[in-house]
Amino acid sequence: MDVFLKGSEIATRNLTPGISVYGEELITEDVEYRLWNPRRSKLSAAILNGLKNLDIKNDFKVLYLGASTGTTVSHISDIACDGKIYAVEFSPVTAKKLTRLSRQRPNIYPILGDATKPREYMNIIEKVDLVYCDVAQPIQSELFMKNMNLFAKDDALGILMIKARSIDVIQKPKTIFKQEEKKLKEKGFKIIEKVKLEPYEKDHMAFLVEKNF
């Protein structure tokens, strides 16, 4: 995976030199890099906290659930420079910003859709190498598994960013993480790696999984 260490920070090679997506710093050496802010991107936080078994190839097809305005999407766009990122976003206002980003980055395919109803966008998404889920809903694990089952290739990986407070504000995050891990295992998913996102994100954990059936 083409992620580069720049001092104590990480960066991706800029697919669109000279253009900053969310105000991130651009560094020019032999080529131009974009610093990847871990306080703006949970995937950056996970990598800096030790996530090591994720290898996004440059030709990967990625389904991204909860794309928002495209902060993390844009860095995956840098890495999967010859691939496709199907970016699903529920909010029409936010999706407009995502669409503007896709005009600069032709490997991003914005989809205005509801990640809890994946069959509604089945006709526009092919099988993918990675399903990435960052959706703040109580049923985030369930919708992630639905999308994995429909769109993931047999050897695909999945990343689920669990937001404990979006599931239950009363239970301890540690309890929530165990509960969600059990759900994944019961439905045939193998947990490859778990990484907490503190100090960048409170009460969050990244699960890297694969289908085990």
Q: Which residues contact 90 (CB under 8 A, 6 or more apart)?
A: 66, 112, 113, 114, 115
Within a domain: 63: yes
Within a domain: 182: yes
Residue 82: CATH number of its domain: 3.40.50.150
How confident is the model at residue 40, as a pLDDT? 97
Q: What pTM did the predictor assign?
A: 0.96
* pLDDT tens string 9-23: 999 999 999 999 999
Within a domain: 205: yes
Within a domain: 16: no
* Distances in whole angstroms, Cα of residue 126 to Cα of each of 59, 122, 153, 169, 201: 14, 8, 9, 36, 32
Mean pLDDT of the chain: 96
How confident is the model at residue 169, as a pLDDT? 87
Compute, in degrees rounded to 10, the torsion defined by CA atoms 25, 42, 121, 211: 130
> What domain range is 156 assigned to?
37-211
* Distances in whole angstroms, Cα of residue 46 to Cα of each of 54, 193, 198: 10, 11, 9
* pLDDT tens string 98-113: 999 999 999 999 999 9
Structure tokens at 78: 């840098």
Dihedral sign for Cα atoms in the order 113, 115, 119, 121: positive
Q: How many CB atoms lie within 10 A of CB 68?
A: 18
* pLDDT tens string 129-186: 999 999 989 999 999 999 999 999 999 999 999 999 999 989 999 999 999 999 999 9
How confident is the model at residue 212, as a pLDDT? 78
Q: Could you give phi then psi for residue 21, rounded to 5 degrees?
A: -85, -45
How confident is the model at residue 213, as a pLDDT? 61
Within a domain: 10: no
Per the structure, the count of domains in the chain is 1
**199 prior amide bond cis, ω within 30:** yes
Within a domain: 12: no
Within a domain: 3: no
Contact 213, 188 (CB under 8 A): yes
Within a domain: 73: yes
* pLDDT tens string 6-57: 989 999 999 999 999 999 999 999 999 999 999 999 999 999 999 999 999 9
Distance CA 210, CA 188 (A): 9
